[in-house]
Structure 1
């Protein structure tokens, strides 16, 4: 089996970022220079002995670093970095991750997201300082993801859950329950603005963007399918960025296994077939807005 050293380097970087260790600390503990570590992340040939040391230090298996089988990722930082890496090469993206797809969201959503993620970290969270630092890292990665998307504009199919949207409008863009009512109302206004934006995007029928609104129940775990000229990749993740986000608990998976891809592609086709699209989807969103304090157009 031929290994792609650039992809091994991508995984090394993602797991390094999620480890909470600095590049200097990792390099020192495995006996190489920081410059050498960065070269490995750029795709330089890596010795198996070095890979084994990195595997043990980062808490990830050698097969995962090599891209053999399924990648299991328990860090949201590592997962979003892997998404960024995969997205920057993808030509077509299918997204089922609700209620809002980050790549299609407004700048206002992105600007508000950091505060929402920070407030999702409770005072009693173990190693709270590390969790708060993770939010900063995640936001840096997300901003780079958005920049790359806007530069490349790959085709994107976004399946949205109507039930998730309704809950988003009702609860607002919040990181935790029981916020002061004044704050809660501002967050509901943010949610209404975001849903209004998606209704507009649907009506504009922009080239390369297809949005389907699914009124039936959707899987609780989000997934994305990335297509390149000679490769497909499936990511399955418990991490979410919308209302009541989760960036702390769960295990994401990344695979190119044909069976997993085929099953998820079939699921997408079934959901797309029954989804509301175009004017019907926009009307449905505007009806939800009208029911939740927004103006109906």
Structure 2
């Protein structure tokens, strides 16, 4: 089989970013220059011996670096970088990630997200320093994703869960529990503003954006399907950015396996068939907002 060296380079970069090792340190430890490492990340032909050294150092299998089979991704930084790379070539993106899809989220959500991510890291977490450092990288990657999305305007199909939205409104945009009541009130206001934003997006019907509100049960693990000109790519991830986010624990995966894609596309088709759309979806969200407002009084 032929390998796409540009994509091997993409994977090397993603796993390097997720490793917490500097480019200088990686280059030194495998015996090449930093410039040579960057050339590999740009898609230059890589020797198997060098790839094996990188595999050991970055703690990722050679098949994953080569793109053979399923690509396993244990780092949120690596996952969001791989998502960014794949997204840049996609003509359409199918998103199941609740309660809020970052690409369609408001600028206010983005501005609050870093605070909530920092808040989500437990004080006694053994990897707290590393996780806090990762947040800066994740935010940079997310901002770049949104910039490119707005520039390219690929089609997007976003399935969101009514139950996730209701919980988001009730709990607020929080990174952990047991926050002071004053803070909770502020976070619930942030959540309300974001749900109002999504209701407005649905009502405005922007070109290429399709939003379906699913009132039944949805899978707890989010996934995305990226439809590129020559293939489709599926990502499944435990990492989430909404209410009570997770950027520390879990393993994401990326694959172009036909069976996996067919099964997930079948799920998307069924969820889309029963989802509320257009005016029905926006009215449902506004009723949730009104109901939540009444219960809060």
Task: Give TM-score scaled by structure 1 length.
Answer: 0.98
Shift of 1:156: 0.1
Deviation per residue, 1:46-85 (Å, 9 max, x gap): 0000000000000000000000000001100000000000
Q: Trace 1:221-240 onto structure 2 (pairs within 5 A).
A: 221-240=221-240
Shift of 1:122: 1.0
3-state SS in 2 of match to 1:293: helix
In 1, distance between residues paired with 2:22 and 2:48?
A: 22
The residue that corresponds to 1:129 in the other structure is 129
In 2, distance between residues paired with 1:180 and 1:17?
A: 35
RMSD: 0.7
Paired residues in the alignment total 294
The residue that corresponds to 1:23 in the other structure is 23
Shift of 1:177: 0.5
The residue that corresponds to 1:6 in the other structure is 6
In 2, distance between residues paired with 1:216 and 1:128?
A: 36
Q: Trace 1:1-297 onto structure 2 (pairs within 5 A).
A: 1-293=1-293
In 2, distance between residues paired with 1:184 and 1:206?
A: 32
In 2, distance between residues paired with 1:77 and 1:252?
A: 11
3-state SS in 2 of match to 1:95: strand
3-state SS in 1 of match to 2:103: helix
3-state SS in 1 of match to 2:210: strand
Moved over 3 A (4+): none
Shift of 1:261: 0.2
In 1, distance between residues paired with 2:255 and 2:135?
A: 25
In 2, distance between residues paired with 1:10 and 1:95?
A: 22
Q: Give unpaired runs (5+ residues) of structure 2.
A: none
In 2, distance between residues paired with 1:163 and 1:18?
A: 32
Shift of 1:128: 1.4
In 1, distance between residues paired with 2:88 and 2:184?
A: 36
In 2, distance between residues paired with 1:192 and 1:230?
A: 40
